[in-house]
Structure 1
Amino acid sequence: MQEGTESRGFWLYDLKVETVLDGRTPVCRHIEGESFLVEGETLVFEPGTRVSMYALTALMPLLPAKQRMTDPNDWISTDAEVACPDPHCGGRFRITRLDKRWFTHAATTGQPEARGTPYWQEDSA
Structure 2
Amino acid sequence: MNDEFTLYDLKVEVISSDKPMVCRHREGDYFLVEGENLVFPQTTSFSMYSLAALLPLLPAKQRELHENDWMLSDSIIACPDPNCGARFKITRTRPRTLRHSECTVEKIHSTKDDITMNMEEIKNGSED
Q: Which category describes the TM-score, using the shorter chain as reference length? A: 0.7 to 0.9
Deviation at 1:109, TM superposition (A): 1.8
- Corresponding residue number in structure 2 for 1:38: 33
TM-score by length of 2: 0.79
| Residue number among 3, 8, 12 corresponding to 2:3 in the alignment | 8
Aligned partners of 2:29 and 2:68: how far apart in 1? 29
Higher helix share: 2
Q: Percent identity?
A: 53
Deviations 1:86-108 (A, max 9, x none): 11110110000011001111111
Matched ranges for 1:71-82 at <5 A? 71-82=66-77
Unaligned runs of 5+ residues in structure 2 are 109-128
Backbone CA RMSD of aligned residues = 1.3
TM-score by length of 1: 0.81
Q: Does 2:15 align with 1:20?
A: yes
Aligned partners of 1:88 and 1:110: how far apart in 2? 44
Unaligned runs of 5+ residues in structure 1 are 115-125
* SS at 1:61 equivalent: helix
Aligned partners of 1:25 and 1:94: how far apart in 2? 17
Deviations 1:17-73 (A, max 9, x none): 000013430111110011110001111111110110000010000000100000111
Runs in 1 of length 4+ with deviation above 3 angstroms? none
